[in-house]
Amino acid sequence: MLLTVVDYGVGNLRSIAKSIEKANFDNKLNYSVKISSDINDIKNSDKIVLPGQGSFKACKKGINNIKGLLDELNESVLTKKKPIYGICAGMQLFATKGYEEEETPGLNWIPGEVVKLDLGTKNLKIPHMGWNELKIKNKSKVFKNVNDNNHAYFIHSYEFIPNDKKNVSITTNYGKDVIAAVSWENIFGSQFHPEKSQNTGIKILTNFLNL
């Protein structure tokens, strides 16, 4: 079984891969974990992780800059229905469009928009950074066994707001309810970083591997 962490020039890929390898080893699963920008690796993968760090615009540009990557991601996820997990800006890319720096089209896998966090108060700093509690909204295979009040690690200034609230799996409170995780069919993602979220993160990555 092959899991590929997509390398398109953004994100702390080694840290993500190490967390997946730990979940794989601890649960005696049979995955080979590869960090790669090779289209053939993605084509041959059983599961895909799409990391993301920096602006929505920069992340989408990184995907567009690798010849054939966008087409292969669409083929793998939409046609072949391979499970994919997006992390932080990688999850935001699932949206129809984002507004960071300028309006930029996303992958449009889960209709919605990525907008700047509007907290309605100056008492809370942006970016939203550090540990925060999770609140379960809708059941999801990847976020099962994650409970209300489990903590995860966030760092972001923008949030993905899906058009359909059924796609919202988890929220967190930071002056208001902020979208923390989404799910739709074979597509899963979190605004928080599972690789930095200790036991909660490992639990989620284990669920993803066990799909």
Which residue type occupies 147? N
- pLDDT at residue 11 greater than cutoff 90: no
pLDDT over 70, % of the chain: 100
Which is it for strands 187-190 and 177-184: parallel, antiparallel or unpaired?
Answer: antiparallel
The whole-number average pLDDT for the span 123-146 is: 95
Query: How far apart are alpha carbons 23 and 32 in whole angstroms?
Result: 12
Torsion of CA 179, 135, 202, 9, to 10 degrees: 10
| Mean of per-residue pLDDT scores for the chain | 96
Q: What is the model's pLDDT at position 102? A: 93
Torsion of CA 147, 151, 155, 159, to 10 degrees: 30
Q: Which residues are tagged catalytic?
A: 88, 193, 195
The values of phi and psi at residue 13, to 5°, are -70, -40
Query: How far apart are alpha carbons 51 and 116 in whole angstroms?
Result: 20
Q: What is the model's pLDDT at position 12? A: 78
pLDDT over 90, % of the chain: 94
Structural domains of the chain in order of their starting residue, each with its CATH number: 2-209 (3.40.50.880)
Query: How far apart are alpha carbons 68 and 74 in whole angstroms?
Result: 10
- pLDDT at residue 122 greater than cutoff 80: no
Query: How far apart are alpha carbons 161 and 116 in whole angstroms?
Result: 10
Q: What is the model's pLDDT at position 10? A: 83
> How many Cα atoms occupy the beta-carbon half-sphere of 96 within 13 Å?
7
- pLDDT at residue 1 greater than cutoff 80: yes
pLDDT digits (tens, 9 = 90+) for 65-103: 999 999 999 999 999 999 999 999 999 999 999 999 999
pLDDT digits (tens, 9 = 90+) for 141-192: 999 999 999 999 999 999 999 999 999 999 999 999 999 999 999 999 999 9
Query: CA distances (Å), 199 to each of 140, 151, 162, 188, in order?
Result: 18, 9, 27, 19
